[in-house]
């Protein structure tokens, strides 16, 4: 009878240990931060020009995220945590590369527009003078010009 109780206790403790092993010790913020970084990278990628390096890092982030879940399921929590960190880091790198590519494209467009403005002819021809003509000179009563004009009438 004692052996039966010992076997049952051993079996029960084995089941309890197996149940504890399936519960993950990976901090929840590692999982959510990597997931959020991947989503952010996907959104940034949609507004930035094609960036091959960023595409590669985003692909790596997705693969590392999936691998981390597999490791966590298999009870290798330390490895899973490291993969979640790598996934977040690769996703953040992809975002940065996309944003840098977009900034470079905007800089090039602004530089091109500035060069066009510099090469455009000026609005006022350089030979034009800003001196008033004789007809636009005001006539002051009692001046020589006033006397000349009275004679013309």
Q: Please tell me whether the overall predicted TM-score, pTM, comes out greater than 0.85 for this model.
A: no
Q: What is the tens place of the pLDDT at every residue in 33-85? A: 999 999 999 999 988 878 889 999 999 999 999 999 999 999 999 999 999 99
Residue 100 lies in a domain: yes
Please name which of 34, 55, 39 lies closest in space to residue 98, comparing C-alpha atoms: 55
DSSP state of 13: H
Residue 108 lies in a domain: yes
Residue 150 lies in a domain: no
Residue 17 has pLDDT above 50, yes or no: no
Residue 48 lies in a domain: yes
State the CATH number of the domain containing residue 107.
1.20.1270
Answer for the pair 58, 41: CB distance below 8 angstroms, yes or no: yes
Residue 106 lies in a domain: yes
Residue 38 lies in a domain: yes
Tokens, residue 2: 């004692």
Q: What is the tens place of the pLDDT at every residue in 132-146? A: 555 666 666 666 655
Answer for the pair 88, 34: CB distance below 8 angstroms, yes or no: yes
* Structural domain that includes position 69: 23-117
Number of domains in the chain: 1
Tokens, residue 64: 């590392």
Residue 132 lies in a domain: no
Residue 91 lies in a domain: yes
């Amino acid at each position: 009878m004692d052996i039966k109780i010992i076997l049952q206790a051993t079996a029960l403790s084995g089941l309890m240990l197996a149940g504890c092993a399936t519960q993950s010790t990976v901090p929840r913020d590692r999982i959510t931060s990597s997931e959020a970084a991947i989503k952010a990278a996907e959104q940034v990628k949609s507004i930035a020009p094609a960036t091959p390096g960023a595409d590669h890092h985003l692909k790596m982030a997705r693969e590392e995220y999936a691998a981390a879940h597999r490791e966590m399921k298999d009870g290798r929590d330390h490895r899973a945590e490291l993969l979640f960190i790598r996934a977040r880091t690769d996703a953040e790198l992809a975002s940065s590369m996309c944003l840098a590519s977009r900034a470079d494209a905007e800089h090039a467009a602004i530089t091109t527009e500035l060069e066009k403005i510099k090469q455009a002819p000026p609005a006022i021809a350089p030979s034009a003078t800003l001196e008033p003509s004789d007809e636009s000179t005001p006539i002051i009563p009692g001046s020589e010009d006033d006397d000349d004009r009275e004679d013309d009438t």
